Structure formats: structure tokens, C-alpha cells
Amino acid sequence: MSLLELQDVEVTYQRRGRAPVRAVAGASLTIGPGEIVGLVGESGCGKSTLARAAAGLLAPSSGRVLLHGQPIAALSRRARPAREVKLQMVFQDPYSSLNPRRRIGSQLADALRINKLMAPELQRARVIELLEQVGLPTDAIDSYPHQFSGGQRQRLAISRALAAQPEVLVLDEPLSALDASAQAQVANLLVNLCRELGIAMLLISHDLAIVRQIADRISVMYLGVVVESGPTEQLWTDPKHPYTEALIGAIPHADGLGVKPRALRGEVPDPAEPPAGCRFHPRCERAFGKCSAAVPDLISLDRDHAAACWLHDPEQAPQPSPLKDAAGDSH
């Protein structure tokens, strides 16, 4: 059984006097115990909204989020049930989620106290252990958030999530505000925590190159829907969706030195007015008649590798149909 499962989740934002926006238009994914799943896509594709739904911070308009096979409730003023405390979220900007006027030790101890995880006399020792787990000096316990660098603050945010002894962490762009060196260090920390403590992670990022270094599997999201998912190396070396191909092609030196990155064609459309048919068709170099007429389903192509593209339907695709043939590659 999956640890965390999103089943056909939709999230619609109502807007006064304007048409509602379907920020997530039916997305499914699963995360197994101790697995790191990356969710990538450009800004505005709905991945942060999906992350908040996955963490129970907002209620889906339809579909379900299951933890251990049980639906999770959207966060309310009441304390979360103990089993849902096992699902924690880390945000992009750690500074905004830390109280600047309180010492780090007391902020980390909050999670132990609120969730009744430990007797008060044991909490200080546990806080020190949490700081060590994320590679921070133990005297950080008496410091304030402004005394830390961006990378250290993100470590603090992760340690606060760890205090709840999570089984799953949902991380929304945890590396994007950091410099390259801090990014690499926090990325290594996440992988180590996953492998050593067996914590599963849903890692949200616009940066496919970083996610490739960390994730076991990747789901690619475009304008509210998952268009491709698969094991990381398989998806990277043999993408099955033109959007994934374009994302990889836009990464500097993605295929080795000397390969110039290619900018993605056009802009992400307004999610309030998504294109008919395949949502990617106005930007897709391979689009053909069927693409603007009907929505392709996410279909399994090779065990765990799935894509939503008419090119993989032999009855619909112009010949030759496989993606690489359509690109003009020779075998």
C-alpha cells in the first residue's frame, strides 16, 4: 500500500465576480515508504497548490488524499489526529515560518509539546538531537532566527518538521531561495534523512536538474495536470512527453558540455482559461489535429513510466508515432 496517495485531486479557487480557477485539474500520484518523489513544472502550473492539498493545508474540490489508505482532513482549528501529524510540510521561505522573537530551542520544542510527544524534562535533549540531525551546532538552541544564514534557516525548518517524527515530508521549493552551495548541502541532507530515517518526501520544485539529483521518481505537472511520471533516470534519459523534453532541453548543459539550452516556446497560459484538448498544445512543436480536440489520458507506457500525449496512441498519432521518430532522430 502507498504511504501517501493523491487520487484525481482537483482544487478550484472561487473568485468574486470572476470565473473560478481550476489550479489543479485532476492530479494523481503515490509515494511509498522512504521514497522521494519530485513534482516539477514551471511557475503557475499548480504544483504548490497540489502540495498544500497533499499536506492537508487546503481541501480538494474533488478527489482524495489518503495517508495509509485513510482520507486526511483539511487542517482546522482543532488539533490534528495523531496519525496526520506524521505528515509535515516545509515551506520555501523558512524565515517567514520562524518567529523572529523566539529562541530556536523553544520553537523546536513546540512540536514536541503540542503533539505531546515527550515529557518537558526530556525536550531539551531532543531539541539538541534534532539540531545535530540537520547538521547545526547545538548552541543554536539559544539563538534567534536572524542569526542564521538562509541555508541554516532551511535546516531549522526541516528540524522543526522532524520534531513531529514524520513519515512523510511535503517540501515546497525548499531549495529555491538558497545559493548553489547551500542548495547542494540541503539537498544532501534531505537524501540522508530519507535514507537514514526512512522518511518519504514529496519534493516540489521548478528545477528539474536539482530534482534529478534527489528524487527516486518524478512527476511532471503542466497547467494543473500531471503529464508524465516515471523513475528519475528513465524519465530524464527517455522522456515520453514533449513538455518534459522541453524542460530538459531548457537546462544548461543537460546533455553535456556544448549543448545550448533551448528556451521553452511561449508562456504558460492563464489557468482560468486553459486551452481545449491537450493543455500543452499551443506550445507544443509536435501538436497535430487531435491535440486541440481531445484531452489525452495519462497512460502507462513501460511499467512505472506513464505519459499523457496523443503521440503514444498508435490509432491517433501521425506516422511515425514514437516521440523520438517524430523529432527526426535516427535509430
- Name the residues that contact ligand SF4, by CB under 6 A: 241-242, 278, 280-281, 284, 286-287, 291, 296, 309-311
Residue 263 CA to residue 285 CA, distance in Å, equals 13
Smallest gap, in angstroms, from Cβ of residue 11 to ligand SF4? Answer: 22
* DSSP assignment string, 33-71: TT-EEEEE--TTSSHHHHHHHHTTSS--SEEEEEETTEE
Q: Which among 241, 252, 190 has a CA at the least distance from the CA of 218?
A: 241
Smallest gap, in angstroms, from Cβ of residue 217 to ligand SF4? Answer: 20
Smallest gap, in angstroms, from Cβ of residue 298 to ligand SF4? Answer: 11
Smallest gap, in angstroms, from Cβ of residue 8 to ligand SF4? Answer: 20
Residue 135 CA to residue 123 CA, distance in Å, equals 19
Smallest gap, in angstroms, from Cβ of residue 246 to ligand SF4? Answer: 10
Smallest gap, in angstroms, from Cβ of residue 281 to ligand SF4? Answer: 4
Smallest gap, in angstroms, from Cβ of residue 305 to ligand SF4? Answer: 15
* DSSP assignment string, 91-138: -S-GGGGS-TTS-HHHHHHHHHHHTT-S-HHHHHHHHHHHHHHTT--G
Determine contact, residues 261/275, Cβ cutoff 8 Å: no
Q: What is the DSSP letter of 13?
A: E
* Exposure class string for 278-290: b at 16+ Cβ within 10 A, else e: bbbbebbebbeeb
Determine contact, residues 38/230, Cβ cutoff 8 Å: no
Q: Which is nearer to ligand SF4, 91 or 280 (CB)?
A: 280
Smallest gap, in angstroms, from Cβ of residue 284 to ligand SF4? Answer: 3
Strands, E assignment, the chain: 4-15, 18-31, 36-40, 62-67, 70-71, 87-90, 168-172, 200-205, 217-222, 225-231, 299-302, 305-307
Q: Is the dihedral of CA 55, 185, 243, 280 positive or negative?
A: positive
Q: Which among 299, 291, 288, 297 has a CA at the least distance from the CA of 275?
A: 291
